[in-house]
């Protein structure tokens, strides 16, 4: 009897193991946010989101070791430099923020080694996981995560990540968080202070105005902080927001100028020209028109739109510029493998017949702007955006005669019956989100 019981127990364990393995092999229908969290051993709930955000941050002891290793990259001893490089490369969560700072070092050895480590680093452990966690917090309106978001905000090193933090902060912050948010607004990392602005805006109206509005006129504050403060005050229809945004049209960074102009147009209803990348004298003339509007009407007739944090925004961040001169060109660079595990990829082929000049027609299909260095084409199909991962060109003609330096003709006219220029691109498919 005991033997039979043992056999039954063994069979049940084997069946459970097989069922578990089958479940692991079965493709999941989870949205990417949930699937990425589950891959980190977390569920899409408040406790797990808190755990994921806290685990993204190194401990004080780890920070000390990271600082020591980065200093060691510039050691006088070759062996010490190599040992520090190897140690940083082997870290399961590469210290991307610290390495990016080291890549700006005046010490050439530190700078080059930091760049080398960054080139081989996978950003999975920070940007993608944080992006997914913040989206879950926002979608499910998980409360009680203000402190975790304030701490994790320092890892938001891209515009999509910053948007995700902002969206999550506005969903989670409540009146009880005002003291912590007010304290974070006054000191600390700039991304933490910006996150505090959005938390205060969501948590309490009058308190937010009292805490945030003084930042607008303080030129000692970082422009990015003043921009966030101006947008927050625009939610409350404060005239000071318009004045600060017009002032930021003269900011040193083109990105700040561009955002200020977009906000002004959206909130004023005025479509006055402003080219953030234009020459300084042209920008000054255009800014003068906004100053004139401010002195005249200067009213804000609309509030800023709701923040967005979409997967397409994250892929936009990874898009680079390419050239069709190479046989194979990669267009989306540095995307963590973790993302490709949760998004479908497909291949699209374009081919043409006729003269060699048809090559230019295909080039236009791939690249909306002629010439080298243009942005690759993002296709739209059935409410999806297709991001090119890699592309290849294949020449199928063999015999052709160059008539002059600007044109060519296929020698054998029967070749027109089949393609003699072909391009193939592999795309990652990202759903369009409102």
Per-10-residue mean pLDDT for the chain, 434 residues long?
A: 44 42 45 88 90 84 90 92 90 79 91 87 72 93 94 86 92 93 91 95 84 92 95 90 94 93 92 92 95 89 85 82 54 74 81 47 44 61 83 50 45 45 76 81
Q: What is the pLDDT of residue 421?
A: 53
Return the structure tokens found at 300.
């804000």
Evaluate whether residue 150 is within a structural domain: no
Evaluate whether residue 25 is within a structural domain: no
Q: Are 284 and 325 in the same domain? A: no
Half-sphere CA count of 345, side-chain side, radius 13 A: 12
Q: Are 167 and 212 in the same domain? A: yes
Domain boundary among 75, 99, 124: 124
Phi, psi of 373 (to 5 degrees): 80, 15
Q: From the CB of residue 31, how many other CB atoms can be counted at a distance below 10 Å?
A: 16
Evaluate whether residue 413 is within a structural domain: yes
Q: Are 240 and 188 in the same domain? A: yes
Q: What is the pLDDT of residue 190?
A: 93
Whole-Å CA distances, 414 to 18, 130, 353, 408, 417: 59, 57, 11, 16, 6
Evaluate whether residue 11 is within a structural domain: no
Q: Are 187 and 289 in the same domain? A: yes
Whole-number Å distance between alpha carbons of 324 and 363: 7
Evaluate whether residue 165 is within a structural domain: yes
Q: What is the pLDDT of residue 275?
A: 93
Q: What is the pLDDT of residue 181?
A: 95
Q: Are 247 and 290 in the same domain? A: yes
Whole-number Å distance between alpha carbons of 399 and 106: 55
All residues at 6 or more sequence positions from 387 whose CB lies less than 8 Å from its CB, including other chains: 315, 319, 331, 332, 378, 427, 428, 430
Phi, psi of 390 (to 5 degrees): -150, 160
Q: Are 167 and 291 in the same domain? A: yes
Q: 3-state DSSP call for residue 409?
A: strand
Q: Are 391 and 353 in the same domain? A: yes
Return the structure tokens found at 189.
């990392």
Phi, psi of 362 (to 5 degrees): -65, -40
Q: Are 181 and 269 in the same domain? A: yes
Closest CA to 139 of 162, 172, 108, 114: 172
Q: What is the pLDDT of residue 62?
A: 86
Evaluate whether residue 134 is within a structural domain: no
Q: Are 165 and 283 in the same domain? A: yes
Q: What is the pLDDT of residue 287?
A: 95
Q: Are 382 and 412 in the same domain? A: yes
Domain boundary among 295, 325, 340: 295
Domain coverage including residue 115: 60-124
Q: Are 215 and 290 in the same domain? A: yes
Angle made by CA atoms 138, 142, 148, in degrees to the nearest 5: 90
Evaluate whether residue 45 is within a structural domain: no
Evaluate whether residue 334 is within a structural domain: yes
Residue 348, burial from CB neighbour count under 10 angstroms (0-12, 13-18, 19+): middle
Strand (E) or helix (H) holding 274: none
Domain boundary among 295, 325, 346: 295
Q: What is the pLDDT of residue 212?
A: 94
Q: Are 409 and 342 in the same domain? A: yes
Contact present, 72 and 117 (Cβ < 8 Å): no
The number of domains in the chain is 3
Contact present, 53 and 151 (Cβ < 8 Å): yes
């Amino acid at each position: 009897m005991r033997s039979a019981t043992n056999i039954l127990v063994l069979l049940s364990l084997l069946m459970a193991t097989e069922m578990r393995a089958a479940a692991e092999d079965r493709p999941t229908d989870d949205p990417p946010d949930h699937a990425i969290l589950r891959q980190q051993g977390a569920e899409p709930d408040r406790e797990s989101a808190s755990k994921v955000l806290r685990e993204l941050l190194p401990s004080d002891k780890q920070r000390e070791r990271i600082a020591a290793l980065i200093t060691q990259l510039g050691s006088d001893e070759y062996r010490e430099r190599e040992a520090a490089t190897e140690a940083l490369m082997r870290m399961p969560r590469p210290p991307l923020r610290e390495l990016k700072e080291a890549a700006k070092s005046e010490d050439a050895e530190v700078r080059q080694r930091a760049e080398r480590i960054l080139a081989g680093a996978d950003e999975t452990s920070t940007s993608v996981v944080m992006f997914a966690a913040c989206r879950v917090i926002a979608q499910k309106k998980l409360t009680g995560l203000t402190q975790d978001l304030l701490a994790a905000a320092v890892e938001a090193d891209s515009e999509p990540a910053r948007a995700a933090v902002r969206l999550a902060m506005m969903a989670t912050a409540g009146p009880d968080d005002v003291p912590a948010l007010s304290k974070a607004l006054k000191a600390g990392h700039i991304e933490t202070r910006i996150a505090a602005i959005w938390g205060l805006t969501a948590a309490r109206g009058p308190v937010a105005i009292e805490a945030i509005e003084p930042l607008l006129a303080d030129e000692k504050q970082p422009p990015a902080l003043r921009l966030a403060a101006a947008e927050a005050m625009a939610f409350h229809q404060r005239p000071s927001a318009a004045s600060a945004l017009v002032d930021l049209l003269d900011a040193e960074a083109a990105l700040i100028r561009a955002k200020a102009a977009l906000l002004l147009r959206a909130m004023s209803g005025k479509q006055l020209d402003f080219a953030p990348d234009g020459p300084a004298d042209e920008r000054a003339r255009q800014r003068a028109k906004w100053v004139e509007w401010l002195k005249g009407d200067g009213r804000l007739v609309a509030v800023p739109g709701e923040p967005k944090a979409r997967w397409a925004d994250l892929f936009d961040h990874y898009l680079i510029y390419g050239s069709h001169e190479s046989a194979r060109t990669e267009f989306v660079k540095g995307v963590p493998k973790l993302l490709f595990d949760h998004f479908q990829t497909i291949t699209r082929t374009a081919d043409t017949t006729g003269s060699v000049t048809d090559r230019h027609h295909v080039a236009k299909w791939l690249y909306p702007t002629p010439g080298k260095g243009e942005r690759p084409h993002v296709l739209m199909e059935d409410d999806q955006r297709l991001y090119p991962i890699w592309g290849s060109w294949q020449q199928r003609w063999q015999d052709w005669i160059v008539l002059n330096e600007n044109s060519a003709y296929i020698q054998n006219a029967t070749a027109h019956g089949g393609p003699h220029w072909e391009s193939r691109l592999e795309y990652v498919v990202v759903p369009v989100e409102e």
